[in-house]
Structure formats: C-alpha cells, structure tokens
A and B are shown apart, each in its own frame.
Chain A
Amino acid sequence: MLEMKSRWAPYWQAAPLAIVLLIFFVLPLLVTLAVSFWTYTGYSIEPAMVSDNYASAFDKCLASLPDLCTTFRTYLSTLKFCLIVWLITLVLGFTVAYFLVFEVKSNNMRLILALITTIPFWTSNVIRMISWIPLLGRNGVVNQWLLSVGLISEPLDWLLYSNFSVVLALVHLNTVFMIVPILNSMSRIDKSLVEAAYDTGASGWQTLWNVIIPLSKTGIAIGSIFVITVVMGDFISIGLMGGQQIASAGKVIESQINALQFPIAAANAVVLLAIVLMIIWTLLRFVDIRKEL
C-alpha cells in the first residue's frame, strides 16, 4: 500500500503544473496547428486538411528567387532586428551583470542596483514605448536640445518611426531579460577562480574570455532565448515605434488575425514557431542549460 502510494506520489505532485501546461500551452498550440490546415473564404472558415495556407504564405517565393518575395523580406527584416537587438542586449546585459557581480562590493548595493534594472517592468510595455515619443519626436526633447546646442540645424527625422527607434525600444524592453539570467550564472562563479586566474598571470581580458564567459554561458543562452523569442514574435513595438511602416513576422500574423483569416495566420504562426525553435535548437547545441536548472 505504502509502496503504491510513493510510486505515484511524484506524478500527483507534477500533475497540477502538467495540466495547466496542457490546457494553456499544448492544447492551443495543437489547435493552431490544426487550424493552419483549414480553408477559409471571405466569409467562412472550414475544417479541412489542406496545405494551401502554407503555399500562399510563401506564394511565388521559390519561383521568384533570387529576388526576395514579401514573406522572405519580412522574415529577413525580422531576423535583422532580432540579431541587432540580441547583440546589443547581450553586450549591455553582460556588462551590467559583470559590473553588479564583480565591481559592486557591497551585497546591499548589488541588490538595490539589480532591482533598479527591473524598473522598466513597473509599467506596461505600451506605456514604456509611448514615453519615447515625446522624447524622440520631431519636436521632441532630444531634437530641441540638439537644436538649441547648435549641433543640428533642423530636426532629425530618423529618431522616431525608424529602424533606429524600433531597435531602441526593443533593447529597452528586453535588456533586463538578458541581465537577470547572466547575473544568475555569473554570481555563482567562485571569486577565487578570478584570483586563481590572476595568480597564473592571466590579464583582465584573458580572465574574462577564458573563465568568466565560459562560466556565464548558460546564463547567456537562457537570456538569448528570452530575447530572441520575444523579438521574433514582436508586433507591438515594431508597429508602434516603426510608425506602422516596418513589416515583421508578428505584424503579418496580427493583420491576418484582424482580417479574421485565422487559417493563414495559424500557418504563419507555425512557420514562425519552427524558425524560432530552430534558432533555439542551434543555441542549445553550444550550451547545456540543464546545468543551470
């Protein structure tokens, strides 16, 4: 009796989370997958098992190569943002984490500064983005200041509703996703390892490259997954900060949903999911994140 109980105990303990994940994650995903094979017309959606939606998502894409079709260009542009934002958040996040772990000596100060990095999360991300507008607009604070200092003679147009502002907003929103996991794995590095490296004659950069980066690898990978998945699926920031002029994979799906074209939106979502999973799979080939769990 007791044996029976203990054998099933772990399953019971895991059951609540498993059920939540099943209902709110696996099931919707399966529904999306199923809907992506349905057919639709201007006024109806019918269950079916056709690959038309995938075909029309990549309409004439292969035929028109080497010219890029709209879909490819959209994905390329999304990937470009993803790469730029990933690089910037990685450098920023790593630097901030390094500063917090190795330069800040007092534990209280470290805690306070780490909490400060989460301040952007105290408001909704829409508000965070909108607050850039009075700053970066044609008559915004930045332009007026630059004008008054005399650095420019007429307002800069590229500050807002541009690639620049999109990247800026995405970096602003996502850097903390990079900081926290890197901070987590970096703070586990035994300080005596840094001393040992110094003892063996390693320079600061050598210690960084040979000791600190390899030991922060799992944090870097987890942070990268956060940032890449968020940016790849983003449509709010790119829409808002790009003045609705910049295409992104997420935006395509959003506009299809708005047009009630659920099947093709689902097909696009599945494609996007596949691409993101491929990126993550590649990342995980380099890093074993189980070490961090």
Chain B
Amino acid sequence: MARPADLELASVTKRYGDTTAVDSINLKIKAGTYCCLLGPSGCGKSSTLRMIAGHEAVSDGDIVLGHDIVNKLPPAKRGTAMMFQSYALFPHLSVRDNVAFSLKMKGVGKVDRSIKATEALKLVDMTRYAERLPAQLSGGQQQRVALARALVTDPQLLLLDEPLSALDPFLKIKVRAELKRFQRELGISFIHVTHSQEEAMALADLIVIMNNGKIEQMGTPREIFNAPSTEFVARFIGGHNVMPLEGRSISVRADRLSLSPGGGDGVAASVREVEYQGTAVYVSLATDAGIEMTAIVPERAFYQQPFETGDTVTVHWNPDDIHELSASA
C-alpha cells in the first residue's frame, strides 16, 4: 500500500509571463492530512495544485515530497495522483480499463492489471459496474471510478481539483463524506482545491486560504473560523461581520450578535431583510453610518421577539467576541 509522505512547498512561485499566479508560498502538509486549498477563482490555488501534481512547471522554489525534491519529475514518478474536475475518464474504455490504464502504460500484464483494478474498484464499491462505459454512470459513480483510477497507483498524495463541483447539492454532501472516509482509511494526504468554504470546513484538517497568489491564512477550520487573521479571510469564510472600530478593523461572528428593540446600549440599525433558514433566522442590518451586518438569530429567540423589514433595532455584542483583524495581506 501507499507510504504516506510529508509534502513541503518552499517558496514555490508560478509566473505566466508578467503575471505571478503563485507568489512564493511556503506550506507544510504532514502525511495523512486532509488539506483544502480554498480561495476565490484566480487566487492561485489551482496553479498550486497543478504544480504539486506535475502538470505545471514550477517557476521558482521547491516541492519536496517525502525526502525528494520532485520539481522536475513527471506526475507518475512523483507518487502523486490527480483527480480531475470533470473526472477525465476515458470515454472509450470500460470502467475496469479506465482504472487499469496506468498499469497498462507501465506494462503490467493483463491478469495482474485486472486483479489490481478489481481491488481498486472494490475499495470504492464499484465492482458491479466494471464493464460499463463512463457515459453509462451517474456523476457520483464516475467520481468513484476517477478515485479508483487515481488510487490504483498507490499514490502518497492524492490531488483533487474541485472534485465536487460537477455534482448536484444533495450528492455533493454524500460524496464529501465518502471522500473524507477514503482519506481516513487510506491514511494518505489529500489536497483538495475548492472555492466553497462550506466544503473546506466540512472536510479539512488543514485549510489553506489563498488570495492573489499568496497564502492568507492556514489552520484548522475552527482556528480559521474563530480567529480569521485578515479582513479578506473574515469576509471569505463567511458568518462574520467586518466593521471598523476606532480606526481598527474588527470582526464579530454573526451568531454572536443579539438584537433588541430600539433604545439602550449598542449600535442602532435598521432591518433590511429577514431570511428564514429553519434552525436560525438571518437578519440583514444596516447602521445609520451605512455599515452592513448580518445577525444569525436562533429560530426560537427570533420568534419570541420578531422583527420585520424596516424596524429599527439595537445590535449588541459581548466585548469578548470582538476579534481584531490585520489589514488584508
């Protein structure tokens, strides 16, 4: 089976002509980590992944996997495997032949190939579909086949490029749980590129938030959610109200705001929008100074004292919930 290995990026840079897509990033990922590269489109997360995968040349810096610098190695020699966004299954080959493809390229005999492919398919519970063509499978099934194809080479590191973006929301959550389970069972590192903070929070041991080719912040989902270091992170991760306070920039979690009818201590604001979300009600607010905020109020609390659009309310928060932000990097 795969030998889990640590991955280290040492001032890795990617330039396309004059533009710098990835700007000298440093990153250490311990073996067996589920790491999510998170950021808006164009932030450099995909370029980073593709450099680790060996599909994009490194302009500067080193990629170290285990004990080896792998900058110059082709993907198959690195011990990495990549799962593509649209899965990139070969449409003319059966599921079994898709999974066995890399073995065939290596010159493994037909029988061994079939045995190993079947093993990989068993892992993702797809043996029943071995003879089908990719077009005859659902999105979720195709994803499992792509996973099996990536795993058949026993990679030390699995790279996933927005693997859930092609699935419908319901399936997304199901497949997400499966990915996490596979990662746990295999014990290798997964590096997963996504622009959905929800996905990253649900999956990651380590979230790396990128912006403009730089790492904005990295940490566990809880660290990041409770202590976003910059305004960008606080806004991107969501659930935070970023506002100025005495010349500084602060954030307060949306679920830490409480609302009361006009008057009393706190900030006066008017209710712009009330969104019912089941377990909680999202109240959009705007202060007289034009600062926008969102309060997430538990359903029961909200309906004990409901507000409507246009009401004037007072917003309170505990001083302990104020989190200082540094200027955006």
Contacts and interface: CB of A to CB of B under 8 A. Distances in A.
Contact of B92 (A198, A203, A215): A215
B92 A201 contact: no
B75 A193 contact: no
Contact of A206 (B55, B90, B105): B105
A203 B105 CA distance: 8
A195 B88 contact: yes
A212 to B, nearest CB: 11
A201 B88 contact: no
Given A198-B75, A201-B102, A192 B85 contact: yes
B90 A201 contact: no
A57 to B, nearest CB: 43
Nearest to A195: B55
Interface string A184-199: 0000001011011111
Most chain-B CB neighbours within 10 Å: which of A192, A196, A215? A196
B76 interface: yes
Contact of B86 (A190, A201, A214, A215): A190
Contact of A215 (B85, B89, B91, B102): B91
B145 to A, nearest CB: 12
Contacts of B85: 192
Contact of B88 (A193, A203, A210): A193
B82 interface: yes
Contacts of A252: none
A195 B105 contact: no
A200 interface: yes
Contact of B76 (A192, A201, A215): A201
A25 to B, nearest CB: 33
B104 interface: yes
Contact of A195 (B84, B89, B91, B102): B84
A197 B101 contact: yes
A196 B75 CA distance: 10
A211 interface: yes
Interface string B180-212: 000000000000000000000000000000000
A113 to B, nearest CB: 23
Contact of B84 (A192, A201, A202, A206): A192
B14 interface: no
A164 to B, nearest CB: 38
| Interface footprint category on A | 10 to 19
Nearest to B77: A201
B159 to A, nearest CB: 9
Contacts of A200: 75-76, 81, 101-102, 105, 149, 153
Contacts of A201: 74-77, 102, 105-106, 153
A211 B105 CA distance: 11
Interface in B66-85: 74-77, 81-82, 84-85
A240 to B, nearest CB: 42
B53 interface: yes
Contacts of B101: 197, 200, 202, 210
Consensus secondary structure, chain A interface:
helix
Contacts of A198: 55, 74-75
Interface string A23-62: 0000000000000000000000000000000000000000
Nearest to A194: B88
Interface string B201-239: 000000000000000000000000000000000000000
Given A199-B55, A210-B101, A192 B74 contact: no
Given A201-B74, A201-B76, A196 B90 contact: yes
B113 to A, nearest CB: 12
Contacts of A196: 82, 84, 88-90, 149
A146 to B, nearest CB: 46
Contacts of A199: 53-55, 75-76, 81-82
B71 to A, nearest CB: 16
Contacts of A190: 86, 88
A196 to B, nearest CB: 4
Contacts of B75: 198-201
Contact of A202 (B54, B86, B105): B105
B100 to A, nearest CB: 10
B55 A193 contact: no
Nearest to A217: B92
B76 to A, nearest CB: 3
Most chain-B CB neighbours within 10 Å: which of A195, A201, A210? A201
A12 B160 CA distance: 51
A206 to B, nearest CB: 5
Contacts of B76: 199-201
B74 A193 contact: no
Interface string B101-134: 1101110000000000000000000000000000
Interface of A: 190, 192-193, 195-203, 206, 210-211, 214-215
5 contacts: A192-B85, A199-B75, A200-B81, A201-B77, A201-B105
Nearest first, the 3 closest Cβ-Cβ pairs linking A and B are A201-B76, A200-B102, A196-B88
